Structure 1
Amino acid sequence: MTFRKSNCGCDIFRIFLVRFLFLQSKAKMGTLQNLLFTICIALRCVTSAVGVIHVTGYVGREVNVSCSYDEGYESYEKYLCKNDCGDSDVLVTTSESRKNKYRINDDKTARIFTTTISDLHSEDAGKYWCGVTRNGKDIYTEVELKLAQDSCCDTVTKIESYEGFSESIVCPYESRYQNNPKYICRGNRPSTCLQQALITSDNKQNGRFRLDDDKLLGTFTVNISSLTKNDSGSYLCGVKRNSELDVFSAVELKVKEWCCVKSIKIKGTVGQPLSLQCPYPPQHQDKGKFLCKGEQLNSCKDITNQSRFQLEGNGSFSSFSVVITKLEEADAGTYWCGSDSERRPGNYTKIQLSVGEMKTFK
């Protein structure tokens, strides 16, 4: 005969037995222990595995409750139940592996059966029991399910950058997690972040993304190269934990286009000198000036060390000039000049130089 779990009145009968012991002081202790065991069996007290399984899930998502069992019970029926585990409290069994929002799977090789609870709501939080059906008393393991909101976080770090540049996202974590896996994902839903991770500490390079973990500082840094406007949005830095929900910090990245760049088109002649004018903000009068060549500002090549290019300052007019002493056809292309080492919009000038042959008259 199989008994489900019911309210155990063993404590009441222990009180009774204490009084019985007082009255029957000469009775043997072994006899009393046997009596206590017999009474508890009659009251169908639960046989529970040592410890409580703690599980945490996200509201609106699903969670897995996994319970192990001893060798020899592979062919026995397993189930998940709540409350007193009467027949009406059983949520799903391996005999009927899917019921309502519950489904169960028994891995007999690993001796672990897992129940998946989907579409979680606040009322799903609480105490559950993993049960193994057998003759007499079933075997139970207590499960405590906690729920959290599927959103993050109270504090958001905001970062601004520009198209074509690289940007680093610094993610702090507590020292106790220095050996835990780290990762980053798009969006702000913790429940799906790991599955949709852009990069993890197990694979430190993935396309434009690179992850470096500084365990001494307690931060991991994700560098994104060749930024585009599509990289703008929310990111979550995640630290994986085994028995609890992962730990997250939130970042909002805004990638700006070069909307405010001053662009100048200039024509020059092979063999002739040419002067390029580079204005800069008045407050940058004492800052270093730069001139580089290339289609992208973040990857252009510095050419100020070439003898044909000479920078001449003019602080009174908040501009400096670049004199090319003798133009060559190879000088044609895109140049960038300015006074801001961070090269922010409005603080530099884009120059598109075309070079033609000198006209000859017959």
Structure 2
Amino acid sequence: MRAITIIFITLCLISGQVLCFKVIGCSGGSVMFKCMYKSDEQHNSTPLNQRKSYDQFKGKYFCRNRNRDCKPGISTELQRRWVYNERFSLYDDENSRFFTVFIRNLSREDAGRYTCGNKQKCHDVELKVKNNSSSCGTSVIRSAYKGQTITFSCEYKHEFKTNTKVLYRVNGDPVLVLNSSQSSQSSEEKFILSDSQKDHFTVTIRNISAEERGVYLCGVERDGADKPPSETSNTHITFIKEIKLNVSSQITSVQVEAYISKSVFIKCKFPEEFKENKKFIQKDSSKEISVDEQNQWIPHDKVHMFDDTSAGVLKVFISDLTAADEATYRCGVNTADDHLFTEITLKISQGDHFRESSESVAVIGESVKLSCNSPEKQQLIKHICKENEKKICQSISSSEKQRFEFSDSTAGVYTASISNVSLRDAGVYWCGAETRHKNLTSVSLTNKHQLTLTMPPVIGREGDSVEIKCPYKEKLTEEVCLRSGKCLRKEVKYLCKGKCFTKDAQNIIRSDEDHDKNPKISVKDDTELSLFTVNMTELRAEDAGKYWCAMRDVFNLPLELMIIMKDAVIHEASVGGSASISCKHIRNQTQKFFCRGDQPNNCIRDGDRVSSNNRINGRFSLTEETSAGVFTVKISDLRAEDSGKYWCAEESSGSFIFTEVQLHLTRGFPVTAVVSVGLILLAVCLVLVLFKIKQSSKHDIISSDRRETGDHETAQEEIQVSDPESTNLYSTVQSPTNPSDGLLYAAVSFQKHEESRSDATVRFRKEETHCDYASVSHSITPKNY
């Protein structure tokens, strides 16, 4: 390219003949015209072997001519080669009597008078630039892949329907000229130009190769007037449309199905040698959207792109899908000589059978389950991903996959479980089905979950102290630099009763306030562990409630402080009976609970219970006596396994107060056994009384008996007792016959006649002079049927 200052205009004006003609262009379009620099006589009279040496030193030029001072434009002394100067181009053919001037991207400021020619001959050219049509100077980009046939249209004004239509390809040196009068419809033609006489003509390019890429110009041939050019007119071409044609090589073609109002995540993989090359995405035949930055998400409307150079992958995330997003996309990479792309046919379907969204609350350190849907028509790989700050759903990294487990429950429904939940897990999740192809992976996301976190409940006893530990996200802290140059991470942390930074929140403590004002509360901020700890002493019932750990207005983490009252309830009952347990409550208008569990939080969450809303649950029932400030729980048909720890609880707006209840059960006896034992005890008492009486007079009785009979006699006494049914019980007491041996045997028997018989026997035996054995027997003989 060479630009030469024009200094020979005066010679042209003196020795040459100046001819004027008009060129009409379109704002935003281009023009091309021919400028003659020698006459036909001069050209034809010059021998062929002398034309080159004669003309090659004759400089050609084109310049702006204002006030007869031709300002520098473009010139050349070269033949058969395009010379460029920004938007101006000039081409000289040594075998012609003219050279060609080409001006691109016209504007209204380009209008005016120009001069073109050489030292021997020059012309004044008047350039007019019009801007009176919506189709004036349009520019489009079309893409095709190798082997494809492509057709595009070129619009023009109706007044030019009989003019010759022209297609120029601007692709270096030289310019290819094709017009409607030269085109044919043979199957061998590469380019086919068809004028439909309906204010546009079409251009078809067959079997496209890499050589066909470049810039094409659609135009009409005309003279200085708005009438068709004649054989004698000085014609030029007005270009009204510019088409940039990109030619690519297709890697593969894939269909991806997604759903209205949902999202889709696509990964396009390219050959290893192109992983550092610039990637692009293209919708239908629109302009390519290049990814100008690598290894970061780049937004473009609802399409987000990420050029992952380490993996040679272009990630594409399209959210909030609508029917208008159904199209053909090209996911590609730029190469030195070509484009490589994967064609994606995105089909958008109705997703009415998928839930819009759901909300879940997870306790830090525990697990949470998210319910997901997937298309039933085929077994697909299950997938879950989490939105980042830009609301882009990224794949779970391999280092975290062990925390996510998938299990199928029913057809089309599966569960994704997240274990050991931490602060980083809060946010929006999407789950869906993943489909894999050789060079493309797509994930149709169907279910949206909002996962919020809460701390495990903190349990304290009335009068004692408790520690509330508030973890916070390290990245929320900011460095505060002192004048000394030392920078510290400092950010005010809060503990509030109620959600911090809201109207009804009660600030309990701040990390930067004077804690001496409230000696019951102390605080410690460990920035290394990102842990803010608050110690509360002398707990009271009113301290129960929902608290929030907070930092600025971007981080609020809730937890429950549950208070256990100092006085516990101990209740004893017998197996088979019932128990009525009275529970005091402190506040009115609260929800009452009675449940079983080792810890109160487990009791509320998992334990069997009765409540104000569910007053009867099997053998448990609850009644309230509001005026007395108590509620009573009755447990009927007590069993041995009912023994254990229970909790009386009251709840108001997430504030729980508990009273511990210990239920102890003992084993009771049947009624018949109780009656029998009572009778036995009565008999024993009678034996002792009789024994006492006889002992006092035994000396006289024994002496008398021995003198009269000398034998052992049996002393009997009949005792008659009346029972409620007026039946007789009989008892026999036998004394020892040898007073020297003491009491070796005593029997008491009770006999119940008519309906039953009851016998009781008490025996005392002496072995080796010790009274160490006694037996009681009792039997009931039912009446005969």
Fold-level similarity (TM above 0.5): no
TM-score of Structure 1 vs Structure 2, range by shorter chain: 0.3 to 0.5
Please identify the structure whose Cα radius of gyration is greater. 2
Task: Tell which has more relative contact order, 1 or 2 (C-alpha 8 A, sep 6+).
Answer: 1
TM-score w.r.t. length of structure 1:
0.44
Q: Which structure shows the bigger proportion of residues in strand conformation?
A: 2
